[in-house]
């Protein structure tokens, strides 16, 4: 009996060490801050399911790309496209590149005016060309501004809208400009700032794909990640069924759709 008790004690000790090691596994994550609400929710679910702890850091879309290009990639990094300069440095393992979801651009106008149509690219072009002024984020400071410029280019109206563009450092700028009458139309991401808009702001909806190509949210595992298996588990989880439900609730396209 004494030997049996000792054997059970050894087994319990071994399993205790394994359980403790599992609980202590930690993965670091860098993500653009417009995705903070969704990423926080997905990470919480991942931690509960796997026991792996995640330490999150957030930055602007442009700032996150700059961090990676300067060697600051964390174990898992999520970036908005385009990101060529960020991955040229070799700070992330290109073989792990994974599109986890896609963000759409949205149009907002002042509440109370007739809701314009966004049914197709022609309708969006008409709205933008008729607007006296258009507000969006400065492409040098936020990824959504770069996405807006690509949308104008895709619709072939860059030259026409450029003179009436007003650029702001953050997504709150175009919203405020709508409210005070500085701009007629605001272009922003169909999440975050436009999810719970300021009173008086009317979010018309997301731009159709023929007007603006959805922006990929892409992730990688760092070349220096100490636990690449755990890091890859986290990255894969961002395109799991559980994560898809979170993305869809935020009106983001899951990677599987």
pLDDT tens-digit readout, 62-71: 778 888 888 8
Common-topology check for domains 27-102+215-254 and 105-206 = yes
Q: Which residues make Cβ contacts (< 8 Å) with residue 214, sequence separation at least 6?
A: 102, 103, 104, 253
- What residue spans of 113-200 are helical by DSSP H? 121-130, 143-154, 158-161, 172-179
To the question of domain 105-206 being in CATH 3.40.190.10, the answer is: yes
CA 241 – CA 249 distance, rounded (Å): 13
CA 82 – CA 88 distance, rounded (Å): 12
**What letters, b where the CB count within 10 A reaches 16 and e where it falls short, cover 14-34?**
eeeeeeeeeeebebbbbbbbb
High-pLDDT (> 70) share of the chain, %: 88
CA 181 – CA 76 distance, rounded (Å): 41
Q: Which pLDDT value is given to residue 40?
A: 96
Q: Which residue has the higher pLDDT, 235 or 83?
A: 235
pLDDT tens-digit readout, 115-131: 999 999 999 999 999 99
User: What residue spans define the domains of the chain?
Assistant: 27-102+215-254, 105-206
* 27-102+215-254: CATH, from 3.90.330.10, 3.40.190.10, 3.40.228.10, 2.60.120.260: 3.40.190.10
For residue 145, which of 125, 161, 129 has the smallest C-alpha distance? 161
Q: Which pLDDT value is given to residue 143?
A: 80
| 198 three-class SS | coil
In the predicted model, what is the mean pLDDT of the chain?
A: 85
Q: What tokens appear for 31 in the block?
A: 């993500």
CA 212 – CA 105 distance, rounded (Å): 7
pLDDT tens-digit readout, 214-238: 888 999 999 999 999 999 999 999 9
CA 235 – CA 128 distance, rounded (Å): 37
How does residue 192 score in pLDDT terms, banded at 50, 70 and 90? Answer: low
Q: Give how far Cα 64 sits from Cα of 10, 157, 163, 208, Å.
A: 47, 29, 29, 27
Q: Which pLDDT value is given to residue 56?
A: 94
Q: Which pLDDT value is given to residue 255?
A: 81
Q: Which residue has the higher pLDDT, 183 or 86?
A: 183
């Amino acid at each position: 009996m004494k030997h049996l008790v000792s054997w059970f004690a050894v087994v319990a000790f071994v399993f205790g060490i394994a359980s403790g090691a599992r609980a202590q596994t930690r993965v670091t994550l860098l993500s653009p801050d417009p995705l903070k609400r969704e990423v926080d929710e997905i990470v919480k679910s991942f931690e509960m399911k796997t026991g792996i702890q995640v330490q999150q850091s957030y930055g602007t879309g442009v700032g996150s790309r700059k961090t990676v290009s300067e060697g600051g990639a964390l174990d898992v990094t999520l970036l908005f496209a385009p990101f060529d300069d960020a991955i040229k440095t070799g700070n992330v393992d290109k073989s792990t590149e994974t599109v986890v979801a896609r963000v759409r651009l949205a149009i907002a106008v002042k509440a109370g005016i007739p809701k314009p149509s966004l049914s197709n690219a022609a309708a969006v072009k008409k709205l933008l060309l008729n607007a006296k002024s258009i507000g969006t984020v400065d492409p040098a400071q936020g990824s959504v501004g770069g996405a807006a410029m690509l949308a104008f280019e895709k619709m072939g109206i860059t030259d026409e809208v450029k003179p009436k563009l007003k650029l702001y450092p953050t997504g709150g700028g175009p919203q405020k400009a709508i409210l005070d009458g500085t701009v007629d139309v605001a272009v922003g991401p169909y999440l975050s700032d436009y999810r719970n808009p300021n009173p008086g702001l009317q979010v018309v909806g997301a731009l159709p794909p023929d007007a603006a190509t959805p922006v990929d949210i892409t992730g990688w595992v760092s070349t220096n990640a100490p636990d690449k298996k755990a890091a890859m588990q986290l990255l894969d989880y961002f395109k799991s069924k559980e994560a898809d439900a979170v993305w869809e609730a935020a009106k983001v396209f899951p990677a599987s759709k």
